[in-house]
Structures are given as C-alpha cells and as structure tokens.
Amino acid sequence: MLNEKKASAPTDRGNIVATIIFMLGLGTLLPWNFFITASQYFNQKLSTPYNSSNSSSGATNKDYNYDSWMALLSQLPLLLFTLLNSFLYQRVSERLRVAFSLVAIFLLFCLTAALVQVDLQPYTFFSITMATIWFINMFGAVLQGSLFGVVGLLPPRYSTLFMSGQGLAGIFAAIAMLCSILGNTDINAAALGYFITPCVATLGTLLCYLLLPHLEFARFYLSRHGGDEEEKTKELLSSEKKEKKEVDVNRKLMSEPEERSSVFAVFRKIWCMAVCVTCVFAVTLSVFPVIAVRVESADKRSATWDKVFTCVCCFIVFNAMDLAGRSAPSLAQWPSKDSWLFPAAVASRLVFVPLLMTCNIPNSKLSILFHHDAAFATIMALFAFSNGYLASLCMAYAPQLVRHKDCETAGSLMTFFLVLGLALGASISFLLEMLV
C-alpha cells in the first residue's frame, strides 16, 4: 500500500511548493533580524529627547542599553516557548498556531512602523519596543516550531530549502536596511520604509501558508500524516499477523531494547556536543550585535559610507559568512566528532571577544588595536563563518552519537542547548558592554 502511494506521488510543478517552503523559512526569522539590524534607528530614537517640558534632555541610548535588552528579550521568550511548544502541539491545531502567530507578528510590525511617526518620551518608546520584541519573538518561537513539523512531512530536500530561507532572512533584513538608508535622507522616512517591508513579507508568508494545502503535491504529503483512519485500520488488521512475527524475530535478534532511552541517558552521550553548541552561540551573542554595532568607520571622507558602514560590514558580512559557514559542512566536516580538536576549535572562538572589543569603538575604555575598516570586516567574517560552521557540525554530530530511535530526543536536547547558548550570550553582553 505504501509503495503504491509513493509510486503515485505527484510532482512539484514549477517548484511552487519549494518556493513556498523557502518563503516560510524566510518568514520565521524575519522578526529577530529586522529588530537586530535596526539597532542604529532605535539607539538614535532613544537618544533624541522628547519635545516636551516634562522630558529629561539627558536621556541617551547608553541609558537604555537597547542592544543588550533587545538580545535578551528576544532569546528568553524563544527559550521558554521552545519548551512550551510541545504542549501546544497536543492542544492547538497546527493551522491555528501558524496562522495566529503570523497575524500577531504582522500586527506587531505594523505597530512598530506606526511608532516611527509618533513622538514619545524615550522611556515610553523603550518600554513599548521591548514589549513588542518580547511578544514578537514569543509568536516567532511558536511559528518556527510549528513549521518545522510541517516541513518534516515533506521530502528531505524541502527541509534544506526551509533552512536556506532562514539563513537568508538576515541578509534580506540587512539589504532592506541598506536600501532604506540609501533611498532616503530622513531617518524617519527610511525607518518607515524599512519596517513596512517585514509587514508585507509577513503578509506574504501568511498567504503562502494558506495556499500550501491547496496544492496537489503538498496535499499528498500532508494528508498522509493525518491519513484516513478507516484505511489505516484496514492496513493494520491486514498486516497484524505478519508484523507480530517480525516483531518477535526482531526482539530475539536485535541487541538494542525496544524502548527509547531516557533523556538523561541520551544527554550523557551527547553532552560534549550540547556544551559545544551552547558555547558557540554564547560567544556569538555576547558580542553580536551589542559590541559589533558600536564599531565605527575610521574613514570619514565619505558621508555615505559612514552611514552604511554598520549595515554592510557588520550585518551583511555576518549574515553572508554565517550562511556560508552553515553550508560548508556539506562539503567537508573537520574536525571529526571524536577528535579533541573539535571542542578546542569551539573554545578558540573566545578570541573573537577581545578582537571585536578592540576595534574602532569611539570613547572605548579599552585600547583600540584595529583601526582600519578592513580589519573589522575580516574579523567579523571569520567570526561569522566559524559560528555557522561549528554550530552546524554540532547539530549534525549529535544524532550520530545515539541510536536511531533516540535521534529525536537528541535533536530536541540540542535545540534546547542552542537556545540556552543564545540566552546566556545575551546576558553576558550586559557585562561586556560596560567595558566599552
């Protein structure tokens, strides 16, 4: 029966489903990337006194630590709702979870765009922005977890497309910021155009998701998950005797027990990879974007380059090289999972913390060792590539250390430690920010 279904599987005409899955991947990471890339706008908005006699003219962006709070309040809901999403799977339908999350993200982006044209006291603006970041990442966590479940029902190549879409989300946000800077001289007009872009993209993502079940190719694979209960019952009854014999034989021949290992037993096998992925992202979030966005161009001869320096050398370089690093393991995987060089390579990324902190940061309490723009771009490129490469290796190696039956548990644990690393890095950024 299953072979007959596979033989009659329809084709993805025009790669429409592939394009939709790519767009869904892009849409899941847009919230984080659009807020992180708009660091200059938010810091300038917070440093501008409110036009009122009751305002405090001494408020500056450093009083609010936008970058540190943004990173922390992005990762905490991601950590919490990654854990809670397992309960939502059982109680709320996937269609409702995805559609409601996308509508909520769309409305929150609309609010952010509307606030561009509204004069608010810095504290009020900061409070509303932080609340928006919390809720938009909360819905983003539910959206991402739900869509991973949908993509898992499709052939493996669609998971790769989904991940590629996620990888390009940062580049998309950075290019949108670059276009808004170059297209408008007024910062409010540029910011308005910038935040309208994710509104349109999120709406497009919602429409793509709603279209997916109406396509024959997607409907074929998605319906197999739900299945027809009567058909399944007949299949089970017809093959019950055969399966019983096979199970009895397998129980005698197979050395592995039928039950899955406990979470703790799986953790004991993958603890090294779990610690490594935590360290990789803890180092990354400790200095990116909090420290990286404070680096300024040493070349003051061009006003245009000075405006786009952070967007190009920080965000575009980071996202492009991170994507390259994530893709590199498909070509070569070194060091091996059993080599002591692997945790050593992860630990070596700590060197990027002092390297980035000693770049051209005005009024820094540390000595500036790297003044040239090219030096910062080179450090950022190596920093980003190593992040993507080592993180991908961690996620690929962990399932190889356990039995096939425990791969799902290993994946869940690795996802938790990945998000834990993000949250730890965001917390450490508060301490590092005090040094610069």
User: 363: which 2 tokens?
Assistant: 């009024």
Side-chain-side CA neighbours of 53 within 13 Å: the count stands at 0
Please answer whether residues 21 and 151 qualify as being in contact, where contact means their C-beta atoms are separated by less than 8 angstroms.
yes
* pTM score, whole prediction: 0.78
Whether residue 184 has pLDDT greater than 80: no
Q: Measured at the alpha carbon of residue 266, what is the angle toward residues 265 and 272, in degrees to the nearest 5?
A: 110
- In angstroms, the CA 38 to CA 60 distance is 17
Single-letter amino acid code for the residue at 70: M
Query: What percentage of the chain carries pLDDT values higher than 90?
Result: 37
How far apart are alpha carbons 416 and 424 in whole angstroms?
12
Alpha helices in 254-302 (DSSP H): 263-287
CA atoms lying within 13 Å on the CB side of residue 415: 18
Q: Specify the residue for token string 């771009």.
A: 377
Instruction: Find out whether 423 and 79 touch, Cβ atoms under 8 Å.
Output: yes
Contact 410, 402 (CB under 8 A): yes
Task: Please tell me the distance from the alpha carbon of residue 131 to that of residue 111, in angstroms, as a whole number.
Answer: 11
Query: Does residue 252 surpass a pLDDT of 90?
Result: no
Residues 6+ apart with CB under 8 A from 105: 30, 31, 136, 139, 140, 143, 202
Give residue 234's pLDDT. 43
- Burial classification of residue 333, based on how many CB atoms lie within 10 Å of its CB (0-12 exposed, 13-18 middle, 19 or more buried): middle
The domains of the chain, with CATH numbers, are: 14-225 (1.20.1250.20), 261-436 (1.20.1250)
Averaged pLDDT, 315-336:
89
Q: What is the pLDDT of residue 1?
A: 46
| Residue with tokens 């005005």, as numbered in its chain | 362
Asked whether residue 52 carries a pLDDT value surpassing 80, the answer given is no
Averaging pLDDT over each range in 80-84, 350-354, 390-394, which range is the top one?
Answer: 350-354
**Proportion of the chain above pLDDT 70, given as a percent:** 84
Cα–Cα distance measured from residue 402 to residue 407, given in angstroms and rounded to the nearest whole number:
6
* pLDDT given for residue 408 in this prediction: 65
Q: What's the pLDDT at 409?
A: 77
